[in-house]
Structure 1
Amino acid sequence: MSDKNTKTRDQIDNKYKWNIESMYPNEADWNKDYNAVMQMSDEYSKYSGKLGESAGVLLEAFQEKDKIWQVAEKVYVYARMRRDEDNRVTKYQAFADKCNALLAKASASMSFFTPELLEIPEDKLLGFIKEEPGLKIYEYLILDILREKAHILSKAEENILAQMSEVTSATNDIFTMLNNADIKFGTITDEDGDEVEVTHGKYINFLESYNREVRKDAYDHMYEAYKKQINTIATTYNYNTKTDVVSARIRKYDSSLAAALTSDNIEKEVYHNLINVVNKNLYTLHRYMQLRKKILGVDELKMYDVYVPLIEIPDKTISYEEALDIMRQGLAPLGEDYLSRMNKGISEGWIDVYENEGKTSGAYSFGSYDSMPFILLNYTEKLKDVFTIVHEMGHSMHSDYTREAQPFIYGGHSIFTAEVASTVNESLLMQHLLKKETDINMRKYLLNLYIEEFRTTLFRQTMFAEFELLTHEAVERGEVLTPEWLCNEYEKLNKKYFGEAIGDDEYIRYEWARIPHFYNSFYVYKYATGYSAATAISNKILNDGKTAVHNYIEFLKTGESNYPIELLKIAGVDMSSPEPIELAMKAFEKLVDEFERLV
């Protein structure tokens, strides 16, 4: 499927669409569940003031709470994914909007729960766990709530915050609609002389073009569009950041960073370790940029030159079916059970493959506890797209193992651990491709691709993490995030990370404005830490065989049954130490060394 013009959704074969109908074959059932959550939320107040009466009442309240959220999650996921199929469809815009109200109502109805739980004397609460076997499953959750006792507000205050959640999440929705439904980037002339629209899905392919004018035109069109919207986007992001800061203060955290890390029980040192270790190793990235400049033979390296592969190979398209076969080969070290589960998921309709008009850009794995672990793609038949499938499949397989092994309350994942599952897959695929490659030119290409994965995941996401830290600390000092301040700070960071090889650039200062992850604050650092952990785990799998595979699969089954740092120890990695990041930096340096020798 190599049509340059973006298709409408009804022009795409159903075999390339996810089986979202499996969630609600009849949308009347969606409305039924929606109304059921509304009703159950209204009735949940019957437990208010009674949690400490007995172990039995507490267990019942926990179980009813889980039931409400389990159905609400399914309702929300369906609406959100339907909207993502085509953001222009007003019916599913309305579904998603209704779900925001639903989640806010559910949160408000249960907002008394945690404050009231904490009013129960601790010895009495722990006694309930011993007395009622059914509460044993909630022991970790209860102890985790006790850990956060200092940051839980009164019942009345928690209720107010819960009711405000629909408003405080608005900045994310505003940016999503602007970025996916409204903003347009115009058309450019591609390598074949055809007039082609610049879209989110096509943009990276344009930047990988060997025609420098195509790269420049796509880059200019992209950032000119964001430049025109910069005041709106800066205002949106400013209030998004203010929301984080105000929320942290309300809950008595010493910073918005501390508030963001607390759910995973992550110390701030982990975040700072990442930035510090990467900063100390920027010299290798600078050396790679100088090498890139030399190989491209340009007088001045521009940011639109950063993504083009340095080794040119025949322009080969990889069909979706071929990509699946490559994935199966690359993930073979994970064992038969992993592969059979994966193949079953593919055949049952986990994956939505191609870009269509209005479809949400990028790629993700998403689903509810009761649904398939769906995958959204915008597949363009390039080798990098194969890595995207493998990445998202890592997330979905993580969900598949976890939901089978864990109850609903522990059936999700921290992003801190989720990014490990996806990146282990990428690393295994790359090692597989390098091992079987006999053509020296292709080996150089793959090495360059591997270097780029390090650059875009470990270095780039750390740069984003540093930017988020700067913006939140500025707001905490009482400053306003003006367009000029945001653009200037981002430009300085970009120069620090990329070094002297990059020439002056009038547009890169606007790049922050197109990053959706900034609306889920202090999120992107987990990509970088996850990449570091995954590098270590994939090496264990390839070197230690069955024992490492067993430990890794056991890790995949754990969900949120413990804190991320402890769960990763099951797979043999300690992320409380800077060592995994330092080892990843050494691995990056070795790749650059080998690549430099070969070219």
Structure 2
Amino acid sequence: MFIVKRNEQKIENTWKTEDIFKDEAAFLACLDTCKELGNELCDYDGKLEDASNLLSFLKGYEKLTCLLDDCLGYSSLLSDQDTADAHHQELKGKANALAVEIFTKLSFSDVQIMKIENLESFYASEPILERYRVYLEEVCRLKEHVLSQTEEKLMASSSLMQDTPYSIFGMLNNADLKFEDAIDSKGNKHTLTTGTFIHMLEQEDEVLRESAYRNFYAGYGSMIHTLAACLNGQTNQLKFNSTARKYASSLECAVDANNVSPRVYEQLIETVHKNIHVLHKYMRVRKEVMKKDKLHMYDLYVPMVNECNVPVSFEQAKEDVLHSIQLYGTEYAKVYERGLNSRWIDVYENEGKRSGAYSSGQRVHPFVLMNFANSLDTEFTLAHEMGHAMHSYMSTKYQAPLDRHYKIFVAEVASTCNEALLMDYLRKQNLDPKFQAYLINHFMEQFRTTLFRQCMFAEFEKIINEKTANNEVLTSDTLNQIYADLNKFYYGEDVIVDDEISMEWARIPHFYMNFYVYQYATGFSAAMALSQKLLHGTQADIEAYLSFLKSGCTKSPVELLRMAGVDMASPKPIEDAIELFDSLIDEFESIMK
């Protein structure tokens, strides 16, 4: 498989960063403007106990954050399209360094806002302050965990240093790490990268799958001690932050940033543990359908219904995802179509491009990074990332700049909900039993990889942070053993847990994202419940969901989801999702027999 260089990509398949800044000169000029604004806002230090001064400060701060978002987003997009481009890395570094410098200088603001005894009187004397009520209430909510003004300045200045573990991992993973070619059953070589790995595991050729699997983890194995040191550094910086801010644990510190109780995290793991037999049942069915005595980890991604495993072009994928979201109405559909066809998306893999996929919710419009591989899996990834993009678009359109960024806890709901709508659409297009089984296979894999596997990731993250809290060093041997034990529990006796899979932790970027992964599982569960309401409920259900998309961070995540129609404070959405998974296994098994 040949991987093109960045300058060989067709322009129509790349994102249009000029929509943010027309050129690098405009970007650099905006950085200068941000620096000037930051310096001007420093004049309000010690003056925020006056309502008019607070209003003036917040107006300037709002403008500053908008411009900084533009600079950080623009430079990050350029960096991710080719991580080996040193110049773009330098631009990203400049933007990040300036952001740290500015927020270090402005760290006085939260401390001084918390000292205001009667904010309600401020709203009365300066009614325009109502625009900033949600922001001010969120600042005050964290009062007991905010330090002195001097200490907050020190904490802010350390943020670049604390990002070092993730930066090192990113460079190793995206730019430096190379793999031996995978060899198929005919002796042909295939270029193996972080972008092609899963695609190779989806192939019917078992020789190719095993070769890709062994060579891929051999690459990570060659740097396993360095990667363990990176992750050890990550958990220690989380420990430092949580201790400094008077939290009982790194987990509590992380979830409180999103105004979520640690109980939601723990409840997810407990509920999955109680129902782990359903995943074991799926592994048994997969083993029987594939006619295996035991499953290897490189057998888990290959479709069990090979006859329908046909390529999906990007044009076909765009057509399908657009059809699938029509129930949202005209406004949503028109913007969605514009996004598909106006270079919001960077479509295909190239050398040095960041692996995976994401949506970046910029003010001008969202941008979507893809590594589209002409497969059903990446068609669903397109639906997923465009779900994120539309959530960002709606929140940005309907909320003030300081309220537009929805909390991470709800981030995976809109994306996964749109995957469920695509699944429903595709199943209705072809009623052939084999094709139905093929799609159900894909749907079941979403349950395995998004609910169960992400829960396993969350449990791994919880365990390693607890070890760091107890002053244990995370060596590669320790991490490998924890990860192997979790795989044995989650996948059961029908799956061989080999040495390679014990190193999978080393390639997961989300372990550097501060307890992010559990939200894939909770978001998936919420999305399954909401998608059923959208597909089988009333127009009122659709309107409630659209209101959720428009709400940004104006309420707590759990409150926003209740407004949309699902209660994540309860285990029921997770239980219902697993029950749906169980029914899909039965339906699939019935078709295959």
Partner of 2:35: 38
Partner of 1:51: 48
Per-residue deviation, residues 195-229 of structure 1 (Å, max 9, x unmatched) = 22101111111101111111100000111111110
Out of 415, 421, 424, the position equivalent to 1:422 is: 415
- TM-score normalised to the size of structure 1? 0.97
Contact 2:487 2:497 in 1 (8 A): no
Contact 2:113 2:140 in 1 (8 A): no
How many residues are aligned here? 592
Deviation at 1:367, TM superposition (A): 3.5
2:401 partner amino acid: F
Local SS of the residue matching 2:190: strand
Out of 482, 498, 502, the position equivalent to 1:489 is: 482
1:31 partner amino acid: L
Deviation at 1:565, TM superposition (A): 0.6
Partner of 1:577: 570
Local SS of the residue matching 2:359: strand
Q: Pick closer, same or farther for the CA change 1:508–1:62 going to 2, 3 Å.
A: same
Partner of 1:194: 188
2:91 partner amino acid: F
Deviation at 1:42, TM superposition (A): 2.4
Per-residue deviation, residues 30-63 of structure 1 (Å, max 9, x unmatched) = 00011111222223220000000x2110111111
- Mapping of 1:46-195 within 5 angstroms? 46-52=43-49, 54-121=50-117, 123=118, 125-190=119-184, 193-195=187-189
Deviation at 1:478, TM superposition (A): 1.4
Partner of 2:553: 560
- Greater CA drift, 510-519 or 435-444: 435-444
Per-residue deviation, residues 484-514 of structure 1 (Å, max 9, x unmatched) = 1111001000110000001241211100000
Q: Does 1:261 align with 2:258?
A: no
Following TM superposition, the consecutive aligned residue runs of length 4 or more in structure 1 with deviations greater than 4 angstroms are none
* Mapped partners of 1:140, 1:72: distance in 2: 21
* Mapped partners of 1:278, 1:449: distance in 2: 20
Out of 269, 273, 279, the position equivalent to 2:267 is: 273
Q: Does 1:328 align with 2:325?
A: no
Partner of 1:511: 504
Q: Does 1:587 align with 2:580?
A: yes
Deviation at 1:557, TM superposition (A): 0.4
Partner of 1:29: 26
Local SS of the residue matching 2:307: coil
Contact 2:414 2:527 in 1 (8 A): yes
* Mapped partners of 2:185, 2:327: distance in 1: 39
Out of 355, 367, 381, the position equivalent to 2:374 is: 381
Contact 1:115 1:153 in 2 (8 A): yes
* Mapped partners of 2:365, 2:6: distance in 1: 21
* Mapped partners of 2:308, 2:395: distance in 1: 41
* Mapped partners of 1:142, 1:156: distance in 2: 21
Q: Which runs of 5+ in 1 are unaligned?
A: none
> What's the % identity of the aligned pairs?
39
Per-residue deviation, residues 557-590 of structure 1 (Å, max 9, x unmatched) = 0011111111111211111111111111111111
Q: Which runs of 5+ in 2 are unaligned?
A: none
Local SS of the residue matching 2:368: strand
Out of 494, 518, 533, the position equivalent to 1:525 is: 518
2:18 partner amino acid: E
Contact 2:308 2:434 in 1 (8 A): no
* Mapped partners of 1:481, 1:497: distance in 2: 22
Partner of 1:247: 241
* Mapped partners of 1:437, 1:189: distance in 2: 35
Local SS of the residue matching 1:412: coil
1:444 partner amino acid: A
Partner of 2:310: 316
Q: Does 1:550 align with 2:550?
A: no
Local SS of the residue matching 1:201: coil
Local SS of the residue matching 1:210: coil
Per-residue deviation, residues 301-330 of structure 1 (Å, max 9, x unmatched) = 111111111111244222111111111122
Out of 337, 340, 344, the position equivalent to 2:334 is: 340
- Mapping of 1:388-537 within 5 angstroms? 388-537=381-530
* Mapped partners of 1:574, 1:191: distance in 2: 50
Contact 1:65 1:110 in 2 (8 A): no
Q: Does 1:230 align with 2:224?
A: yes
2:89 partner amino acid: Q
